[in-house]
Structure 1
Amino acid sequence: MYEIFSECVMYRYNSRFCSKGTIFVFFTTILTLLFPLMFTYKSHGFWMKTATYQEKPDVHFKYEYLFILQTESLDSLIICSTFPYLNNLYKDKNSCPIIKVREEDYNRDGYNDILHFELEALLENNENVYGITLILLFDYRLYGHCYLEMESLGVIQQMTSVPGSRFDYAADLQLLQKFPLHTKFHNTFYKKSIFHSKNFNIRDILKDYAARNVSTHLVNSYSVWSYGRAAIDPFIVSAQISYPSVTVMYKPGFWQEIKWAWMQYFPVLFPFILLFREIKRFIFSNHIIHTKKDVQWQKIS
């Protein structure tokens, strides 16, 4: 035997507006929408509080620095900087005649990739170096999903009990955030100069800098402290600072929140739609709730 024709039968269940059937359908519809909402919300994935993205920062060395070289005593302290106030205050202790700075863009994408900084400090024949502090200032900018413009620091410190002749240092300049950035306005609060006053107390400056919401610090650092300086040789500091891509944390906007919430809600909603549809089919087909049943034929072939 061959099937030469087929048709489907669809049952329609009708009821008055103020009836048990209408009330039952109303509550099942509410539960169908409410249960997935409660499930996704309680699973701590419904709303995006923060989001992240990758970006290559636009970093420029500001050609501003503060270098402190610690010798045997505080009286023989050597301070070199680009700040006129410090240079006038410690003019007798400023003995850094040679400074070499070079920034390179290896991949030719318009963004600097690395900074080469080298400094030579002249010493007396009987002076020995036991520690250094080097603070480099950068102009740090982000142009992607979040706009950020700020002045930031790279702090290098080294102390030892053995006098040295050279210090080599390599690290990455990494973005540090305590709270997510906002995408609705430009984040330029930290654009002001860090050394904005005559208060050059290193402890106060670093404490204020550490309290910032957005800053930079040096990570993935490697250093070599060389010994055995000749009497006439200068003390050399060589630093190589890389500018890698960073992960930026930000607060999502309204439409991104809605898109993410819908993606979490719909996969849970679909099974509940099927479940309550079968419940309604069982209730009405077995006449547990009284309704008017109509038959409608549908031709499919």
Structure 2
Amino acid sequence: TREEDRNQDGKMDMLHFKLELPLQSTEQVLGVQLILTFSYQLHRMSTFVMQSMAFLQSSFAVPGSQLYVHGDLRLQQKQPLSCGGLDVRYNVSVINGTSPFAYDYDLTHIVAAYQERNVTTVLTGPHPIWLVGRAAEAPFVINAVIQYPVEVISYLPGFWEI
């Protein structure tokens, strides 16, 4: 995994992600459910820090050897951000890795709890490409390129900005 600053502006522009999953020769992959977590930070008009995620789900009728995904990590807001101070209300892990309860690791619970937030990220336009024909000893491979596009942020202006 590596991030890249393509335009050399000091901010990362994309993530290159690769996961190789070893399989037995008798095992096949027909689908993928993947959660990638991110530390999302804004520092100009509003100072906002959150732990966010991108969720990908794909299934196919034919066993695969590789899944390739290319998409954008987009910010979604249900309400404007505030202008003053540091907003860290969502700077908590998307998945509670210290919980002893199976419920906290249930995918439907994780996604539902995340969607209740007023600010989230979502993977848009993933266009999954499913490659078939895995050799018996070869791993299943997930390759993803996730771009961080420029966003328009909605925020409540301070008194001096009105």
Same fold (TM over 0.5): yes
Distance 2:123 2:29 in 1: 23
How far off is 1:256 after superposition? 3.6
The match for 1:158 among 51, 58, 64 is 58
Considering Cα pairs closer than 8 Å and 6+ residues apart, tell me whether 1 or 2 has the greater RCO. 2
Corresponding position of 1:235: 140
The match for 2:45 among 136, 145, 153 is 145
The match for 1:212 among 117, 129, 140 is 117
Residue aligned with 2:72, SS: strand
Distance 1:210 1:177 in 2: 11
Residue aligned with 1:170, SS: strand
How far off is 1:222 after superposition? 1.9
**In structure 1, what residue type is equivalent to 2:126?**
S
Corresponding position of 1:114: 14
1:172 aligns with 2:72: yes
**In structure 2, what residue type is equivalent to 1:182?**
S
How far off is 1:223 after superposition? 1.6
Distance 2:60 2:143 in 1: 17
Corresponding position of 2:130: 225
Task: List alignment gaps of at least 5 residues for structure 1.
Answer: 1-100, 258-301
Residue aligned with 2:108, SS: helix
Residue aligned with 1:216, SS: strand
Number of residue-to-residue matches in the alignment: 157
How far off is 1:255 after superposition? 4.0
Distance 2:117 2:132 in 1: 37
Distance 2:78 2:155 in 1: 11
Residue aligned with 1:180, SS: coil
Corresponding position of 1:190: 90
Distance 1:184 1:105 in 2: 29
Distance 1:231 1:184 in 2: 57
Residue aligned with 1:204, SS: helix
How far off is 1:218 after superposition? 0.6
Deviations 1:117-158 (A, max 9, x none): 111111111211111111111111000111110100011111
Corresponding position of 1:132: 32
Distance 1:235 1:253 in 2: 51
Aligned-residue identity in percent: 39
Distance 1:186 1:122 in 2: 43
Task: List alignment gaps of at least 5 residues for structure 2.
Answer: none
Deviations 1:94-134 (A, max 9, x none): xxxxxxx1111112211111111111111111211111111
Distance 1:235 1:171 in 2: 20
How far off is 1:228 after superposition? 1.6
Distance 2:71 2:26 in 1: 32
How far off is 1:226 after superposition? 0.8
Describe how 1:1-301 pairs up with structure 2 within 5 A.
101-196=1-96, 197-198=98-99, 199-257=104-162
